[in-house]
Amino acid sequence: MGLNVNLCGIELENPVIPASGTFGYGYEFADLYDINVLGTFSFKGTTKDPRFGNPTPRIAECPGGMINAVGLQNPGVEAVIARELPKLKEVFHKPVMANVSGFSVADYAYTCQRLDKEEQVGWLEVNVSCPNVHGGGMSFGTCPEAAAEVTRAVKAVTTKPVIIKLSPNVTDIVSIAKACEDAGADGISLINTMLGMRIDLRRRKPVIANTMGGYSGPGIFPVAVRMVYQVARAVKIPVIGMGGVGSAEDVVEMMLAGATAVEVGAANLVDPWACKTIIEDLPRVMKEYKIENLSDIIGGVQ
């Protein structure tokens, strides 16, 4: 029974990848279990300069998931290289996915160029889709030309596979994915969170200090499957699917829609062992649905 898949030329033992922002830099989870069981993971969104993030409160529960507006809190790329990656290397012995955000094309290029030189980094996941930061991130991901410009700039200064992470907060996800592919992207990951909002009835004010935030969790799964299906049929490069994934069945469904690998986000915040449990359950689900090799079902929806 084969769980392995090939993502942009790098072999993964299984397709399960904790999503950026839900797994830190890995070593926190390594205290709970051997994280080398993972296919890989996408580490916390990293920017050129340190960021404190948005004011609190910045997380709100809601039916079918949660809303967050953390705002890319991170120590900046130089600190990640100097402090986080050496600690990660002690507990994770596979290529890791570096998630990068920026506020200008030059920001993206600089941060990707720095991380591209790190031996531990296998892929660069370039986030043009963060909905929680004013003036950055998602403004690049909602326009095909802007997303393509970021893609070209990053590809010009890197040697490792570049995967562009797209926003679902658009009317035509396919045109943006195709623009990234045409600009040289090696893969597409989707979807990031959807823009959401909750209101405190007593205070008559938004629950989140940022007013709006990214809605994630099981409630967005059908939207994610639909967008993965659309994009996978439109591009020739690998697609990573995410958005509300919480079970081995969800992983198989995403792969049938066209995903080569599958990221797990909000589920990690509910259950720190979520990804380990999903990986351990995959053989049972494969047997139930008569799947010999997961790589055979990619895009296999009839």
Tokens of 125: 């996941």
CA-nearest of 158, 203, 152 to 181 is 152
103 vs 47: CA distance, rounded Å: 9
**Residue from 253, 263, 260, 302 nearest 99 by CA:** 263
Any idea what DSSP says for residue 22?
S
* Residue 130: active-site member: yes
63: left (phi over 0), alpha (psi -120 to 50) or beta: beta
**Side-chain half-sphere of 18: how many Cα atoms within 13 Å?**
30
* Active-site residue, selected from the candidate residues 8, 130, 180, 275: 130
- 189, 165 contact by CB (below 8 A): yes
Do strands 96-100 and 65-68 pair parallel, antiparallel, or not at all (unpaired)? Answer: unpaired
Distance, C-alpha 288 to centroid of its chain: 28
Sign of CA dihedral 34, 287, 285, 296: positive
φ, ψ at 115 (rounded to 5°): -75, -30
Hey, which residues are catalytic here? Answer: 130
